[in-house]
Amino acid sequence: MKPNLLIGIVLIVLGGAVLGYQEYSYTTKEQVLQIGPITATAEQTHTVSLPPLLGWLLIGGGVFLLAYSAMTKKN
């Protein structure tokens, strides 16, 4: 399998995932208080938004690589 073909397929799948899940969240633990050997931590949730334009650009790049791979196919 040609590398361009594989990368094109991966880009299309990633673009679809970005369009399907436009934001994701992750949790971090942060130390909020320390008095001697006693510490207090808090979990904080962070949300990252992904613009739909990013998904469409990934899909477009994948389609371009698939088309390029098909045009440069040598028998």
pLDDT value at residue 1: 65
Low-confidence ranges of the chain (pLDDT < 50): 75
pLDDT value at residue 36: 87
- In this structure, are residues 36 and 11 in contact, taking their beta carbons and an 8 Å threshold? no
Say how far apart CA 40 and CA 71 lie, in whole Å. Answer: 61
pLDDT value at residue 2: 81
pLDDT in tens, 61-73: 999 999 988 888 7
Place of tokens 């990368």: 7
pLDDT value at residue 74: 64
pLDDT value at residue 69: 86
> Within the chain, where are the H helices?
3-20, 52-71
pLDDT value at residue 19: 92
